[in-house]
Amino acid sequence: MNTKKKKKKKEDFAQTYTGKLDITRSGMGFVIIDKAEKTDPDILVRPSDFNTAMHGDTVRVRVVSNSPRSGRQQGQIVEVLERKQMEFMGRVELSEHFAFFIAETEKPMSDIYIPLEKLKGAKNNDKVIARITEWEKNKKPQGEVIQILNSGDTNDQAMKEILLENGFPLFFPEEVIEESERLPDVLSKDEIARRKDMRTVLTFTIDPVDAKDFDDAISIRLLKNGAYEVGVHIADVSHYVIPDTALDKEAYTRATSVYLPDRVNPMLPERISNELCSLRPHEDKFTFSAIFQLTAKGEIKEHWIGKTAIHSDHRFSYEEVQEIIEQKDGLYKDEILLLNDMAQRFRKHRFKKGAINFSSTEVRFKLDEKGKPIGIMVKESKEAHQLVEEFMLLANRTVAEYVAGIKIDKKPIPFPYRIHDEPDKEKLLPFIEFAKKYGHQFDTKTPEGIAASFNLMLSDARGKPEQHVLEQLGIRTMAKAIYTTENIGHYGLGFEHYCHFTSPIRRYPDVLVHRILQECLEQKPEVDKKLEAKCRHSSERERAAMESERAANKYKQVEYMQEFLGEEFEGVISGVAGFGFWVETVEHKCEGLVSINSLLEYDDFRLLEGEYSLAGRRSGRQFRMGDKITIRIVAANLVKRQLDYEWVIASGVREEMALKAGISPDPVSGVERSPGHEKEKTHNKHKTGRERGREKGTKSGKKKKYK
């Protein structure tokens, strides 16, 4: 009997897979399995077999049959391994003895039962945020209201909705807050005695002007041997956040802070992120440090890694440091100018050794007191930013190199490396062909040759019209950086060993790095068998944070550009697809779609993949990535976070296109309209350009786009 039970259990396990549940709008579910685990990755799951699972949850699914029609495998969810989301935005429906919460979501989900004592004062039809507190099989989920929303504050609702959609909780559980409040304010004298005391050494922080937390500082002093001692000091979060505590579990779940235009959704409670661990000026703090002895030319003589106590003497903004660098005058000017010279030497050496020199710009919004954008600023990377960046890169690389040399039973210790793979050949080869049109040649024999070719191209293109398109397309050939225990180096930085050590207030992998690093320094390294899973989770949460930040920036762009409906702007084509092309305005850096349907009266356009362009079949007119173009803003949809643009045809271009197409202009549009045009235009007139454009393409709805 026991043998049979064991056998059945083994058979059940053999048919069980782990994946993410994707629920369609119709309510049907598909569990997406990792291709490495299963060649056919989708398993159909009917709503009756969800077993409390919701959209985006990581689940274990058991295959029970094959569909007689499609042959697709069908399954039942047997376990929810990880919830994507426990907090939701929606409305309360009140009855005499209980209430229900109805989530506002595109994906179907069960209503949540709310006991009256858990309403927090919410009234019938109030818009609220609710949290699921328990959910037993074959019953409705039970929850509580955690916040009543201000119906007039649409910006606040939109930002919160973006965070919730991407699985980031808005509030910390009470036990997490209580745990953080119990942490002591005063630094223990016994703990200070166990550390290197750096409190008398000149130390300062350099951060954005609006930064709330400061997790890194730099110290500098001249030693008796003539060398300069430069310390990179990082907030010692691991001293306060202990493994398996409520604080640690919540930090792991979030894995990262999320930075939106008007707020930060933190990984750790404010008590830690803004008080205990923030390296605020004129306060003693515990830090984890990488300290270097350097010559004036930036040559590293030796280094030390360990726990320290510091005292920040001053808080600089990037703008203040940049002014000191440019004016060669100001507070601690000698130290800042020396550090900047070292950083520029590090930077030059890095690019010489194979790092790729992609320039980056960041768009920031000027907001009024209600969070509404009233201006857009482009933030460029200047020498002040590079000063901090180079010393942080040095510390990250040094820590990774140290741990890589530690062995257990002659094997490397598992460690959360930050890796970046070589470019994807499928993306790289068409880009190389495209770059040839501008006279750039690539050496593809080795990864080092490819990196050198990129740098030569970027240097030659600087200041030329094609610079933007080559940079953007070049970046898109690159692999995504991830966390993993399988170290293959960081291709973009040109480092053999690299990790994230410098931002533990806002990144969980940095906390893991600190813990493992301390074990190694104490010569007591332990093997964490779940470390790769933690790396994978951190990478997934990082991507979700990036999606949140992208969506929030897009919302602010649409909100800002609403004021300019009907107006014309100069732009640059930033992406192409079979259903249209994207244009980024030069003045505001706001991207919108020009639908291919809006071009029908001019010609019939098709996608030329190798050319990164749309080309007219009759006129030969092309819309290429990087082309300058005039557009008119025709729609700004805040709900969908979409901008729709329209091509403004220049005087004489219409006639020129008609002439090339060999047709006679009509008196209204200036060009002969294609058969059926009026019918199609009438059919589509109530849809946005993006919706009309998406109707074109493959039957599966998956369309290739180049952005």
Contacts for 130 with CB less than 8 Å, ≥ 6 apart = 87, 88, 90, 92, 101, 103, 112, 114, 143, 144, 145, 146
Determine the pLDDT at residue 619: 84
Question: What values do phi and psi take at 528, rounded to 5?
Answer: -95, 105
DSSP 130-173: EEEEE--TTS--EEEEEEE--TT-HHHHHHHHHHHHTT--SS--
Determine the pLDDT at residue 697: 37
Helices 508-521 and 531-561, interaxial angle, to 10°? Answer: 150
With residue 594 as reference, give the H or E element that holds it.
strand 591-595
The confidence band for 90, taking pLDDT boundaries of 50, 70 and 90, is very high
3-state secondary structure of 250: helix
Alpha carbon separation from 39 to 31, 35, 85, 312 (Å, rounded): 13, 5, 28, 55
Determine the pLDDT at residue 68: 64
| CA 581/CA 645 separation, integer angstroms | 10
Determine the pLDDT at residue 139: 87
Determine the pLDDT at residue 137: 83
| CA 548/CA 542 separation, integer angstroms | 10
Res. 556: pLDDT tops 50: yes
| 663, 601 contact by CB (below 8 A) | no
Res. 75: pLDDT tops 60: yes
> What is the rounded (10 degree) CA torsion for 238, 240, 243, 249?
-110
Mean per-residue pLDDT, 550-575: 95
Res. 476: pLDDT tops 90: no
Mean per-residue pLDDT, 149-169: 94
- Mean pLDDT (the chain, rounded): 89
| 99, 112 contact by CB (below 8 A) | no
Mean per-residue pLDDT, 460-485: 89
The confidence band for 14, taking pLDDT boundaries of 50, 70 and 90, is low
Determine the pLDDT at residue 336: 98
Locate 387 and state its tokens. 């000063």
Contacts for 314 with CB less than 8 Å, ≥ 6 apart = 204, 205, 281, 331, 332
Locate 110 and state its tokens. 């069960």
Q: Is the dihedral angle over the CA atoms 345, 351, 352, 355 positive or is it negative?
A: positive
Res. 529: pLDDT tops 80: yes
Alpha carbon separation from 400 to 230, 454, 479 (Å, rounded): 19, 26, 21
By percentage, how much of the chain surpasses pLDDT 70? 89
| 288, 232 contact by CB (below 8 A) | no
Spell out the SS3 assignment of 177-222.
HHHHHCCCCCCCHHHHHCCEECCCCCEEEEECCCCCCCCEEEEEEE
| 648, 631 contact by CB (below 8 A) | yes
Res. 492: pLDDT tops 50: yes
| 114, 128 contact by CB (below 8 A) | no
Res. 37: pLDDT tops 90: no
Locate 147 and state its tokens. 């916040």
Res. 691: pLDDT tops 80: no
The confidence band for 658, taking pLDDT boundaries of 50, 70 and 90, is low
| CA 660/CA 603 separation, integer angstroms | 11
DSSP 69-120: TT--EEEEEEEEEE-S-SEEEEEEEE-SS-EEEEE--SS----EEE-GGGST
The confidence band for 127, taking pLDDT boundaries of 50, 70 and 90, is very high
Alpha carbon separation from 85 to 120, 131, 270, 551 (Å, rounded): 21, 9, 22, 18
> Is 0.85 topped by the overall pTM?
yes
Closest CA to 541 of 192, 177, 83: 83
| CA 38/CA 63 separation, integer angstroms | 12
| CA 427/CA 310 separation, integer angstroms | 47
| CA 424/CA 413 separation, integer angstroms | 29
Res. 54: pLDDT tops 90: yes
3-state secondary structure of 227: coil
Residue type, 532: E
Q: How far apart are the first and last CA of the chain?
A: 61
Locate 577 and state its tokens. 């697809």
Mean per-residue pLDDT, 219-223: 97
Q: What pLDDT, in 10s, does the model give residues 375-406?
A: 998 888 899 999 999 999 999 999 999 999 99
Question: Among 308-317, 591-600, 673-682, where is mean pLDDT lowest?
Answer: 673-682
Can you list the domains of the chain with their CATH numbers? 2-82 (2.40.50.140), 178-417+501-549 (no CATH), 565-706 (2.40.50.140)
Res. 425: pLDDT tops 50: yes
| Biggest distance spanned by C-alpha atoms of the chain | 90
Locate 659 and state its tokens. 């002439």
